[in-house]
Amino acid sequence: MLFKCLSAGAEIPGRFPGPVHARGKWFTIDIHCHVRSDKAAAMVEGNAAVSRWFLETAASERSRAINRQNGERTRLQGSSPEKRIEDMDRMGIDIQAISPAPRQTYYGADPDLGREAARAINDFIAEICGRYPDRFVGLGTVPFQAPELAVAELERLRKSLGFRGIEIMTHVAGEDLSAERFRKIFARAEELGLLVFMHPDGFTEAGRFVDHYFANVIGNPLDSTVALHHLIFGGVLRDHPNLKLVVAHGGGFLPAYSGRIDHAAAARPDCCEELHRMPSTYLKRVYFDALVYTHHQLDYLVDQYGADHILMGTDYPADMGETDPVGFIESTPGLDDTERKAILGGNAARLLNLEVPATPT
Amino acid sequence: MLFKCLPPGAPIPGRFPGPVHARGKWFTVDIHCHVLIPKAAEMVAGNAAVTRHPREVHANERTREVNRQQAERNRIQSTSVEKRLEDMDRMGIDIQAISPSPNQTYYGADPDLGIATARVVNDNLAEIVGRHPDRFTALGTVPFQAPDLAVAELDRIHKSLGFRGIEIATNVAGEDLSAERFRKIFARVEELGMLIFMHPTGFPEARRFADHYLVNVIGNPLDSTVAVHHLIFGGVLHDHPNLKLVVAHGGGYLPAYSGRIDHAASARPDCCEQIHRMPTEYLKRLYFDTIVFTHHQLEYLVDQYGADHVLMGTDYPADMGEIDPIGFVEGAGPLDDAERRAILGRNAARLLNIEIPAASGR
């Protein structure tokens, strides 16, 4: 048997689409779901520096084989809007805020290739949103490795394509997001009121994460954790208080383990050199998706950060995704319906400037 | 001003001893506190391979400077038993389960030096306990890098020195604890019924943690996180169900973020090759100390793992320590007194086979 941990006959999680939920009960937006652009993939084909991907390079051969199988199984879901809408209808999702498959951010590309790939992806996303404007909203990508070009692409995707946000990675080909040269990108995203959805792509130093799929199991929440620390302690969140930052997978480890940063900042002068408030003050400005799999952790996040800071997400169509996002939030015992409404769609609508339908259908 | 985050006049945390608590209200055992053994440090002085420590290697110059100041400030607390007792009396600690300073596990030493330093460390701990048997119990160290010698030293500290537990680090000079060659150590510890207190030594590949003291702020909980994952997914906890494993700093990140391991184990066949139950079943067998700094996380740990799985700790005398461990547990609102009693001392007494004094009200 493949799954030794599962009891015999138990359902295998992470295979989309999940159970049926009728649309209309709630207004629902999925903040965490990915599309794959075949055209952009073709542009970087064979370019090892660009297609290097820590979730792959750090993984065992067994994990890579399973990744390939998953890639095959989800290919249609990754690329066909029609299949996607069919799944959304089944799962009760009104709108997907579609972002590129994280590896398609291609921050390892040289500036020109980076810009060209980003444009191809953004045009692909815009095309999907244009065809089904009531079902999709776009989170684009910009070439962070080339900040001037990134700012120009930000303008274009906001003004010409009408995007309400972007997806960013948790590091830029190994460079942390607090580097001075990236500031202009954050400044412009803040000015334009764009939502920034931050998604990890595995940890850069993953020598000990080869087995047991740790490249993802640990690597993904870890890289978000490291990025959040740099954004806080490097002063980015201090200087950009209106940044609308949503961090994937419940924000990684830090929101669940936040006492240490305040203690360190108050006990160690080497820790808080660039801050003027307790680090958790900045953490509380950040938004998190609901992809934590357990009701008790979702409850905890709501208690600590407020229901207005949690956004429903699926990670569609990945196998680490939540296939029953509506059921997960409906059945979380500590929440009331106002909170459920906020998490399921109200918060995303507010941050993305989407109108909530008077009578959801 | 040095501390830009602190409001003016606010007390600086992490400077022992903390506020006064009279002994006697609770029976209290500190599971997480360290002793520096200068004699062992002399044995490795100048030996770069042995003293190499990720928290220092990757830290920026400012952090190294603060570390030096810290070491100066708490040198007496690290080494003087009398000063330690004075601080314990003030803070209301009945018993410290003293373990070596994590740097002093010296897993990077060759086998001969490793066993020699371990013996010196253990003999020094035994000497402290022998002088004040009602105030200290010892968690020794064994040279993990040389498993046969480690097993022999385990036998010695248990039988000749009367130790009830050991401290282990979260990796063995970069090698993960699930490696086959370490199994005999875990097997012997389990047979002897000893407690294992696992303490991180920073994350070895800490290039991105150089600034803001992230070498410790992230590196320490992270290395515990990686170690616990390896112990679970590598089958160590599966094969040694009676291991009494206490993980420092609330166990690192995993106990606070446990949903992902079960999802992965059931969604990915490459994840659960060596275990036969959901990974959280193994996680729930572990014990965690209280050094998480917030009541809400302490309460979450108690809710998820039970008050019988959480043990009071201070990290004395380090600046990342909890200087008011009793006040912290007393102040956690939803706990009842039976839970507080368990966390403050009874769990440690049970796991260490310490007899609780018959005095009333405890």
Q: SS3 for B174-236, per residue?
A: CECCCCHHHHHHHHHHHHHCCEEEEECCCCCCCHHHCCCCHHHHCHHHHHHHHHHHHHHHCCH
CA-to-CA dists, residue A288 to A243, A245, A282, A352, angstroms: 14, 8, 13, 15
Say yes or no to pLDDT of B3 above 50: yes
The position carrying tokens 């696992």 is B198
pLDDT digits (tens, 9 = 90+) for A212-242: 999 999 999 999 999 999 999 999 999 999 9
Instruction: For residue A192, name the pLDDT band (cuts at 50, 70, 90).
Output: very high
User: What is the average pLDDT across B179-196?
Assistant: 98
Say yes or no to pLDDT of B1 above 70: no
Name the residue in chain B with its Cα closest to that of A294: B259
Say yes or no to pLDDT of B22 above 60: yes
Q: What is the pLDDT of residue A118?
A: 98
- Indicate the pTM of the whole model: 0.97
Of B208, B278, B293, which is closest to A176 when you measure between CB atoms?
A: B208
User: What is the average pLDDT across A200-219?
Assistant: 95
CA-to-CA dists, residue A83 to A80, A87, A140, B114, angstroms: 5, 6, 21, 61
Q: Do B226 and A304 touch (CB under 8 A)?
A: no
Q: Rounded to 5 degrees, what angle do the CA atoms A146, A150, A155 make?
A: 160
pLDDT digits (tens, 9 = 90+) for B154-184: 999 999 999 999 999 999 999 999 999 999 9
For the record, the structure tokens of A150 come out as: 């990134």
CA distance B142 to B319: 26
The answer to whether the CB of A8 falls within 8 A of the CB of B268 is no
**DSSP 8-state secondary structure symbol assigned to residue A132:** S
Q: If you write DSSP's letter for every residue of A208-237 in order, what string do you get?
A: T-SSTTHHHHTHHHHHHHHHHHHHHHTTHH
Terminus-to-terminus CA distance in chain B, angstroms? Answer: 44
The residues pairing with A95 across neighbouring beta strands, listed in sequence order, are A29
Say yes or no to pLDDT of B4 above 80: no
**Chain B interface includes A269 (CB < 8 A):** yes
Say yes or no to pLDDT of A361 above 50: no
Q: What is the pLDDT of residue B358?
A: 75
Q: What is the pLDDT of residue A245?
A: 98
Name the residue in chain A with its Cα closest to that of B320: A264
Q: Do A4 and B262 touch (CB under 8 A)?
A: no
Q: What is the pLDDT of residue B9?
A: 82
Q: Do B293 and A6 touch (CB under 8 A)?
A: no
CA-to-CA dists, residue B348 to A201, A295, B243, B297, angstroms: 40, 30, 14, 20
Of A229, A294, A304, which is closest to B258 when you measure between CB atoms?
A: A294
| Residue B82 amino acid letter | E
Q: Do A272 and B211 touch (CB under 8 A)?
A: no
Q: What is the pLDDT of residue B282?
A: 97
User: What is the average pLDDT across A13-17?
Assistant: 93
ipTM confidence:
0.96
Q: What is the mean pLDDT of chain B?
A: 95
CA distance A266 to A272: 8
Q: What is the pLDDT of residue B333?
A: 86
As a whole-number percent, the residues of chain B with pLDDT over 90 amount to: 90
pLDDT digits (tens, 9 = 90+) for B249-276: 999 999 999 999 999 999 999 998 889 8
Q: Do A278 and B5 touch (CB under 8 A)?
A: yes
Q: Do A253 and B270 touch (CB under 8 A)?
A: no
The position carrying tokens 């100390």 is B289
Closest C-alpha to B236, from B151, B177, B168, B281: B177
pLDDT digits (tens, 9 = 90+) for A104-142: 999 999 999 999 999 999 999 999 999 999 999 999 999
Q: How far is A358 from chain B (nearest CA, A)?
A: 35
The residues pairing with B138 across neighbouring beta strands, listed in sequence order, are B98
Q: What is the pLDDT of residue B359?
A: 63
Chain B residues touching residue A222 (CB < 8 angstroms): 222, 225
pLDDT digits (tens, 9 = 90+) for A83-95: 999 999 999 999 9
The answer to whether the CB of A249 falls within 8 A of the CB of A310 is no
CA distance A157 to A264: 40
Say yes or no to pLDDT of B5 above 90: no
Highest-confidence range of A70-74, B3-7, B308-312, by mean pLDDT?
Answer: B308-312
**What count of CB pairs under 8 Å joins A to B?**
218
User: What is the average pLDDT across A326-349?
Assistant: 97
Say yes or no to pLDDT of B56 above 90: no
The position carrying tokens 């030794």 is A4
User: What is the average pLDDT across B118-135?
Assistant: 98
As a whole-number percent, the residues of chain A with pLDDT over 70 amount to: 98
Instruction: For residue B360, name the pLDDT band (cuts at 50, 70, 90).
Output: very low
* Per-window interface: A 82-141 vs B, CB < 8 A: none
pLDDT digits (tens, 9 = 90+) for A17-56: 999 999 999 999 999 999 999 999 999 998 887 877 778 8
